[in-house]
Copies of this chain bind each other. A is one copy, B any other.
């Protein structure tokens, strides 16, 4: 008898009960203000992941030795951000309640808010580490408060001062940079101070959100708002190694928009980075 066609991110095919990490996709981009398309990221990453290897020469480890379950994509309602965030929060909470690590593939950056809400419910002193080209600290965007451009501001509403660590930021309104000076730890332009921040955060629970546009558009053109002057894959990998030393309770990777990169290398890079993160985070246990 023939089998059903099960599709996972490469090497992420263990059973749910055995899994330490649970993947899910959050294909939502309704508030994207410039060029939409991140809704296709999770599906594209699963398909294209078979073009990379499961083995990481950077860590001399193999993804097949890690226990990851891929639960597929949420079916999110386009045009109703609040409902989409509730669905994401619920999925994240289920995974956390089962004692597993949630790993979300966005979607626009707004999806992070749903996961952070779930994590903040469970962990009192939640910190957020954000790698991003954009500050995402606006209070509203054309009157919209639940916008990708406001997602870190909404996280701040929830978590308060001193909990958000921002790296690689090189774009935003003047007011966002002013806000950051008072309320977050913002490191502009590169990932230089990550290891120092890691020491400061210590053993606090951390949600890690990786907006892939922190990368230079030359290496990662497949995103809605490419910002020149970003970091390299190697620099990103090194910084993630630092972050993985923290007490990560959840993480996401977002803002891949495959349609803008006809070479496919943005999706390939996103897959490679996800492989590295999954291996790194599993080391913690």
Contact = CB atoms under 8 A, between A and B. Distances in A.
A262 B265 contact: no
Interface residues of A, number: 90
Interface stretch (A50-58, A121-129, A158-166, A200-208): A50-58
Contact of A170 (B6, B37, B57, B71): B57
Interface stretch (A111-119, A138-146, A191-199, A241-249): A138-146
A63 to B, nearest CB: 11
Given A79-B79, A264-B35, A173 B55 contact: yes
B33 A36 contact: no
A268 B226 contact: yes
Copies of the polypeptide in the assembly: 6
30 contacts: A1-B17, A3-B71, A4-B8, A4-B70, A4-B71, A4-B72, A5-B6, A5-B8, A5-B73, A29-B36, A36-B36, A36-B37, A53-B172, A53-B173, A55-B174, A60-B174, A62-B174, A77-B143, A80-B144, A216-B219, A217-B219, A219-B228, A222-B263, A225-B268, A226-B263, A228-B265, A228-B272, A228-B273, A260-B262, A261-B263
